[in-house]
Amino acid sequence: MSYNKPTFRHPEAQTNKLGYTRKAYEGGISTLCAGCGHDSIVSAIINAFFEMSIEPHQVVKLSGIGCSSKTPAYFLSRSHGFNSVHGRMPSIATGANMANKNLVYLGVSGDGDTASIGIGQFAHVLRRNLNMIYVVMNNGCYGLTKGQDSATADKGSKTRKGDPVSFESIDLCEMAIQLGADFVARGFSGDKKQLVPMLKAAISHKGLAFVDVISPCVTFNNAPTSTKSYTWVRDHMEATATFDFIPLRQEITTDYGHGCNIPVTLHDGSVINLCKREDKEILADKKEAMAALEKAKSNDQILTGILYLNPDGEDYHAINNTTDTPLNSLDKADLCPGNDVLQALNESLR
Amino acid sequence: MKRIERTNDFVVRFANVNGSGSASANNLFAKVIYRLGVPVSPKNVFPSNIQGLPTWYEVRLSEKGYLGRRGGADFIIAVNGQTLRDDYDMVQPGGYFLYDSTRELPPDFTRTDITVIDIPLTRLCNEEFTDNRMRQLMKNIIYIGALAYLLDIGLEPVSDSVRKQFAKKPKLADPNIRALEIGYGYAEKNHNGRCGLKVEPTDAVGDRVLIDGNSATALGALYGGATVVGWYPITPSTSVVEAFERYANRYRVDPETGQKRYAAVQAEDELAAIGIAIGAGWNGARSFTATSGPGISLMSEFLGLAYFTEIPLVVINVQRSGPSTGMPTRTQQADLLACAYASHGDTRNVLLFPSDPHECFEMTADSFDLAERLQTPIIIMSDLDIGMNDHLSQPFSWDDSRSYDRGKVLSGEDLDRIEKKWGRYLDVDKDGICYRTLPGAHPEKGAYTTRGTSHTEYAAYTEASSAYERGMRRLLNKWETARCMVPLPEFTIRTEEKKIGALYFGSTTAAAVEALDRLQENGTLINSMRIKAFPFQHEVFSFISEHDIVFAIEQNRDSQMQILLAGECQVAPGKLIPVTNFNGLPITARMITNQIHTTLLAREKPFIAPASAAQEARS
């Protein structure tokens, strides 16, 4: 069941540039377990879209199957959603994006949905550089089927039952970097301060923006010995660089707050300000990004933040040179060559 | 020996090695016959291989216009050493065997009931051409030149076709024409009067064109307004998408900016291919995918999603021989059950059965209207025979006043006008088809979540049995609407005395019509019905119930159409009698007449044991 939230809001609730309150970006009440990391990510998604003043109906939400894939019901109720089949969200997103290139596509998936059953589709949507935001709510286990290990569970990490994970884990961010995503980031559901600007940057990026969010499963995988637990992540988190996200057209003042002063301009004109110069260079280097991830791993650390960024890549439509009008808006005059052409074709076949 | 002597009514079979350039030479031969006004049906029998394995190209000429496979060969051009013996043995008694006499025939090739025509193809070719590639390619053209003499075609019609083919590169025409002259000259000098088969110009072709079904399907998709295709390469469907891209590149690209009014996404597998088509259909673009049996198996989960969430899309299934990888380059009609009920749970899909390229074009173009009107997958059941072979086909035409039926889609303005609460799965019109909205249509209204889980009329997730049942029943109501919208069967009533009937569909049509004509000539009158679509209409049920027995002619082992009909139409046991061929080669009229004849004979004289159907399958 999905439940609706009470509609009452404070009459003087803050509005964004479109005049909407945060309410316009909310969805139904979550049916996930109390304390689930996914709910925090949902909240961050709501904040990101609200603060960026994006029309909710210009967003398309897509998901696969699993706890994470249920969450689109809990945000952006004015957006169309597509809760598809297990591991196949990327192909549905590809098709939807082909039909209308002008909307914002937000895919939500989990570690089972992406790293196991859907790993093929994940790999290829990265290669295609589809213009979308791909969020993985990563808890290292299958929640909806009661806590089996997933492919992102770290080898040796102990789960609820106390057994260490026997197999090597898949690092989705490393995969994403290697397979051609131009924007790769890792966040933690418990760190909204980092997650909201990270999502905003992902939304502004043109091409595939991959955001892996470690999101503890309070019911099945939150033992302190699990590397996907609140405790462990808090203790081992290492941020790459604190950064600010400045949306397009917002006045850039000289004061960037906490000393951020290295701007990286995204495709739509928005700016990410990084704190340290070396980060800018590191960000655009795949090998460095991979090395940093591996190094952190060997130090028992989880590296968070934007891990890799190439703001100048071409998305699928740019490569395809798709016409500016969304394909779903073309009519017969644009599409059908007509009978004269057909008669000439007949003649050429004789 | 009695030589076969016939005009415009015989079968020529070319035995080649694949990858040796024989295909274009053999196509040239078929095209010449076609241009002389003689109905022709070429069939390419090719291996699942790129180079070095045996391949055959069979050309049937039939002034009467019978375009199914006939079976047997009256004239065999044998240029493949690997299959020389089989090819030699296969020539019909009284027929002709042309071989490359640069190497002598083995001594045990001793048939006296055929005419052997020796032409030193390799020697002639090597004397004229020095370039290795040319030596390989022109050998094929030399035998076409010889045929031009032997079959009384003359050099001109063939060299005209060559010039037409190379109109843009006239330099390439010269060596071809030289090779034709060499073959023609050699045959004229050495084999004068050796061949009793003749081609005579006539006007039996009319305005028909010669084209393969996959190209026609692609044209149908282009004219039907398809803008998104998700696909994964698989024989024999690949050329559908290749042709679509070819046509789209010609007619859907802005000449100034180079911008494309289509997107053809080569996916990572068939799962993603149909996922792309579903995503695009959901978001309001006309979309399709093309595949074959193994792809259908993979796409089944997604077909169920599209059925249950009610998303329009078109699936082109160019069937091949199964099960599993089966015979990937051979034809069959064996995916009926897999497609009709593809996916777990109570799922049913609309099927259309084109019988030739003209119908591939029409049905594919129509299927996009049908998909959007019915908001469900439409599967075009083509096959390798229709799809990859050239067929004589009615010319294509398009009514320019026709507009696309985009079905029940509410715009932003529509949503503002509606007074009652809109529900994605609310059956307002009581035809089982509900109104859908597209993302971005309205700032506040019309958004919903599409889900493969059970849902209410308002698209909300539900586990309430009553809501689930209502939805499933409504889908059946929609199925009834589909029944009224798909094309009706086509009937040929030969006698009012409705004793024996026959039904067939798709690529079986040409051979079935010929078989029934032949049976009629021998006094057995059989009424027939060509099924064009699933769900079956009342007319299908009536035809079956009106006749005492009905032969179900199809190209699979298990009589899948019969099973489908028995399940859907409550047919009495014993009423439908299977006539099948599943050897991977197109069914022949001879197979059909033999099986029908045997059955009828056994019914009249039950003490005669019917001959095994498997025996007939060999011809």
| Furthest C-alpha separation in chain A | 76
The single residue listed with the structure tokens 């495709």 is A267
Query: Would you call B466 exposed, middle or buried from its count of C-beta atoms within 10 A (0-12, 13-18, 19+)?
Result: exposed
How near does any CA of chain B get to the CA of A266, in Å? 24
Does any CB of chain A come closer than 8 Å to the CB of residue B453?
A: yes
Please say if the pLDDT value at position A296 is more than 90. Answer: no
Nearest CA among B220, B208, B211, B207 for reference residue B398: B220
Q: Are B263 and B230 in contact (CB under 8 A)?
A: no
Q: Nearest residue of A to residue B447 by CA position? A: A80
CB–CB contact A332 B225 (8 Å)? yes
| Between residues A124 and B47, the one the model is more confident about | A124
Residue A152 lies in a domain: yes
Nearest CA among B550, B554, B510 for reference residue B334: B554
CB–CB contact A330 B227 (8 Å)? yes
Q: What residue type is A251 in one-letter code?
A: E
Nearest CA among B584, B531, B530, B592 for reference residue B556: B584
CB–CB contact A341 B263 (8 Å)? no
Q: How far is it, in rounded angstroms, from Cα A93 to Cα A70? A: 16
Best of B265, B274, B360 to mutate (most A CBs within 10 Å, chain A): B265
Please say if the pLDDT value at position A237 is more than 90. Answer: no
- Set of chain A residues whose Cβ sits within 8 Å of the Cβ of B460: 2
Strand order in the sheet with A183-188: A237-239, A302-309, A183-188, A208-214, A132-138, A104-110, A59-63, A80-83, B449-451
Predicted pLDDT of residue A281: 59
How near does any CA of chain A get to the CA of B470, in Å? 17
Quote the DSSP letter at residue B83. Answer: G
Please say if the pLDDT value at position B111 is more than 50. Answer: yes
Phi and psi angles of residue B322, each rounded to the nearest 5 degrees, phi first: -105, -165
Q: How far is it, in rounded angstroms, from Cα B201 to Cα B181? A: 21
The pLDDT tens digits for B221-242 are 999 999 999 999 999 999 999 9
Degrees, nearest 5: CA angle A281-A287-A290: 105
Kindly state the average pLDDT of the residues A54-71.
97
Q: How far is it, in rounded angstroms, from Cα B218 to Cα B234? A: 16
CB–CB contact B399 A339 (8 Å)? yes
Q: How many residues does chain B have?
A: 619
Residue A263 lies in a domain: yes
Predicted pLDDT of residue B495: 95
Best of B205, B211, B227, B442 to mutate (most A CBs within 10 Å, chain A): B227
Residues 6+ apart with CB under 8 A from B378: B312, B313, B314, B315, B349, B350, B351, B352, B367, B370, B371
Q: How far is it, in rounded angstroms, from Cα B530 to Cα A271? A: 65
Q: Are B505 and B385 in contact (CB under 8 A)?
A: no
Does any CB of chain A come closer than 8 Å to the CB of residue B246?
A: no
The pLDDT tens digits for B296-348 are 999 999 999 999 999 999 999 999 999 999 999 999 999 999 999 999 999 99
CB–CB contact B260 A98 (8 Å)? no
Domain containing A204 equals 22-333
Predicted pLDDT of residue B234: 97
How near does any CA of chain B get to the CA of A214, in Å? 26
Phi and psi angles of residue A286, each rounded to the nearest 5 degrees, phi first: -60, -45
Residue A2 lies in a domain: no
Q: How far is it, in rounded angstroms, from Cα A51 to Cα A54? A: 8
Report the relative pairing of strands B209-212 and B390-393 from DSSP bridges: antiparallel
The pLDDT tens digits for B426-479 are 999 999 999 999 999 999 999 999 999 999 999 999 999 999 999 999 999 999
Residues 284-343 of B with CB under 8 A from A: 284-285, 287, 301-302, 305
Best of A336, A339, A347 to mutate (most B CBs within 10 Å, chain B): A336
E strands, B176-331, in order = 197-198, 209-212, 228-231, 263-266, 287-291, 313-319
Please say if the pLDDT value at position B80 is more than 50. Answer: yes
Per CATH, the homologous superfamily of domain B6-198 is Pyruvate-ferredoxin oxidoreductase, PFOR, domain III (3.40.920.10)
Please say if the pLDDT value at position B370 is more than 80. Answer: yes
Does any CB of chain A come closer than 8 Å to the CB of residue B256?
A: no
Which residue among B251, B261, B447 sits closest to A77, beta carbon to beta carbon? B447
Residue A38 lies in a domain: yes
Query: For residue B555, what are the β-bridge partners?
Result: none
- The pLDDT mean for chain B works out to 95
Q: How far is it, in rounded angstroms, from Cα A265 to Cα A271? A: 4
Predicted pLDDT of residue A255: 41
Q: Are B452 and B309 in contact (CB under 8 A)?
A: yes
Q: Nearest residue of B to residue A130 by CA position? A: B265
Residue A256 lies in a domain: yes
CB–CB contact A81 B450 (8 Å)? yes
Which residue among B225, B265, B444 sits closest to A94, beta carbon to beta carbon? B265
For residue A265, what pLDDT band results from cuts at 50, 70 and 90? Answer: confident
Query: For residue B287, what are the β-bridge partners?
Result: B228
- For A217, B30, B42, B177, the CA distances from B170, given in Å and listed in that order, are 72, 21, 27, 11
Q: How many helices (H) and strands (E) does chain A have?
A: 13, 13
Q: Are B273 and B228 in contact (CB under 8 A)?
A: no
Q: How far is it, in rounded angstroms, from Cα B286 to Cα B226? A: 5
How near does any CA of chain B get to the CA of A121, in Å? 7
| Between residues B425 and A227, the one the model is more confident about | B425
Which residue among B209, B396, B461 sits closest to A2, beta carbon to beta carbon? B461
Kindly state the average pLDDT of the residues A291-309.
88
CB–CB contact B282 A92 (8 Å)? yes
Give the 3-state secondary structure of residue A145: coil
The single residue listed with the structure tokens 């060999």 is B618
CB–CB contact A337 B259 (8 Å)? no
CB–CB contact A94 B301 (8 Å)? no
Label residues A52-66 b or e (16+ Cβ within 10 Å = b): bebbbbbbbbbbbbb
- Set of chain B residues whose Cβ sits within 8 Å of the Cβ of A346: 207, 209, 395-396
The single residue listed with the structure tokens 């009793």 is B196
Q: How far is it, in rounded angstroms, from Cα B217 to Cα B34? A: 22
Nearest CA among B376, B351, B290, B333 for reference residue B532: B351
CB atoms within 10 A of CB A122: 28
Does any CB of chain A come closer than 8 Å to the CB of residue B230?
A: yes
Report the relative pairing of strands B436-437 and B449-451 from DSSP bridges: unpaired
The pLDDT tens digits for B551-608 are 999 999 999 999 999 999 889 888 999 999 999 999 999 999 999 999 999 888 655 4
Q: Are A35 and A218 in contact (CB under 8 A)?
A: yes
Phi-psi region of A56 (alpha: psi -120 to 50; beta: other; left: phi over 0): alpha
> Which contacts qualify for A323-326: CB closer than 8 Å, 24 or more apart?
A323/B254, A323/B259, A323/B260, A323/B261, A324/B259, A326/A99, A326/A100, A326/A101, A326/A102
**Alpha carbon B157 to chain centroid, angstroms:** 29
- Set of chain B residues whose Cβ sits within 8 Å of the Cβ of A318: none
Nearest CA among B320, B317, B312, B301 for reference residue B277: B312
User: For chain B, what percent of residues have pLDDT higher than 90?
Assistant: 93
Q: Which two tokens stand for residue B145?
A: 């030149």
The pLDDT tens digits for B353-362 are 999 999 999 9
Predicted pLDDT of residue A279: 59
Q: How far is it, in rounded angstroms, from Cα B308 to Cα B375? A: 10
Instruction: Assess whether the region B211-393 and the region B490-616 belong to the same CATH fold.
Output: yes
Predicted pLDDT of residue A253: 39
Residue A158 lies in a domain: yes
Residue A338 lies in a domain: no
Best of B245, B254, B260, B276 to mutate (most A CBs within 10 Å, chain A): B276
Please say if the pLDDT value at position B615 is more than 80. Answer: no
The tally of domains found in chain A comes to: 1
For residue A247, what pLDDT band results from cuts at 50, 70 and 90? Answer: low
**3-state secondary structure labels for all residues of A51-103:** HCCCCHHHEEEEECCCHHHHHHHHECCCCEEEECCCCCHHHHHHHHHHHCCCC
Residue-wise DSSP of B249-261: HHHSB-TTT--BS
Please say if the pLDDT value at position B529 is more than 80. Answer: yes
- A197: domain CATH number? 3.40.50.970
Q: How far is it, in rounded angstroms, from Cα B506 to Cα B381? A: 8
Predicted pLDDT of residue A257: 45
Please say if the pLDDT value at position A290 is more than 60. Answer: yes
Please say if the pLDDT value at position A246 is more than 80. Answer: no
Q: Which two tokens stand for residue B341?
A: 């009920």
Residues 6+ apart with CB under 8 A from B44: B23, B55, B56, B57, B58, B388, B389
Kindly state the average pLDDT of the residues B504-517.
98
Q: Nearest residue of B to residue A58 by CA position? A: B440
Quote the DSSP letter at residue B587. Answer: P
Q: Nearest residue of A to residue B276 by CA position? A: A95
**Alpha carbon B331 to chain centroid, angstroms:** 9
Q: How far is it, in rounded angstroms, from Cα A34 to Cα B120? A: 86
How near does any CA of chain A get to the CA of B614, in Å? 39
| Cα atoms found within 13 Å of the Cα of residue A68, Cβ hemisphere only | 33
Q: How many residues does chain A have?
A: 350
CB–CB contact B283 A102 (8 Å)? no
Please say if the pLDDT value at position A85 is more than 70. Answer: yes
Residues 391-450 of B with CB under 8 A from A: 395-400, 403-404, 437-444, 447-450
How near does any CA of chain B get to the CA of A339, in Å? 5
Structural domain boundaries of chain B? Answer: 6-198, 211-393, 409-471, 490-616
Specify the CATH number for B490-616; select among 3.40.50.920, 3.60.15.10, 1.10.10.10, 3.40.50.2020. Answer: 3.40.50.920
Q: At the top level of CATH, which class does the domain B211-393 belong to?
A: alpha beta
Please say if the pLDDT value at position A111 is more than 90. Answer: yes
Q: Are B13 and B57 in contact (CB under 8 A)?
A: yes
Best of A76, A322, A350 to mutate (most B CBs within 10 Å, chain B): A350
How near does any CA of chain B get to the CA of A28, in Å? 11
The single residue listed with the structure tokens 């030589």 is B3
**Would you tell me the crossing angle of helices B293-309 and B270-282 to the nearest 10 degrees?**
30
Which residue among A73, A84, A316 sits closest to B305, beta carbon to beta carbon? A84
Residue A258 lies in a domain: yes
- For A210, B154, B259, the CA distances from B247, given in Å and listed in that order, are 36, 35, 15
Count how many pairs of residues, chain A against chain B, have C-beta atoms within 8 Å: 228
**3-state secondary structure labels for all residues of B106-150:** CCCCCCCCCEEEEECHHHHHHHHCCCHHHHHHHHHHHHHHHHHHH
The pLDDT tens digits for B41-71 are 999 998 888 888 999 999 999 999 999 999 8
Please say if the pLDDT value at position A276 is more than 60. Answer: no
Does any CB of chain A come closer than 8 Å to the CB of residue B479?
A: no
Predicted pLDDT of residue A256: 40
CB–CB contact A91 B272 (8 Å)? yes
Give the 3-state secondary structure of residue B48: coil
Residues 6+ apart with CB under 8 A from A234: A190
How near does any CA of chain B get to the CA of A175, in Å? 16
Please say if the pLDDT value at position A134 is more than 90. Answer: yes
How near does any CA of chain B get to the CA of A60, in Å? 7
pTM of the model: 0.95
Q: Are A101 and B259 in contact (CB under 8 A)?
A: no
CB–CB contact B398 A72 (8 Å)? no
CB–CB contact B440 A100 (8 Å)? yes
Predicted pLDDT of residue B108: 96
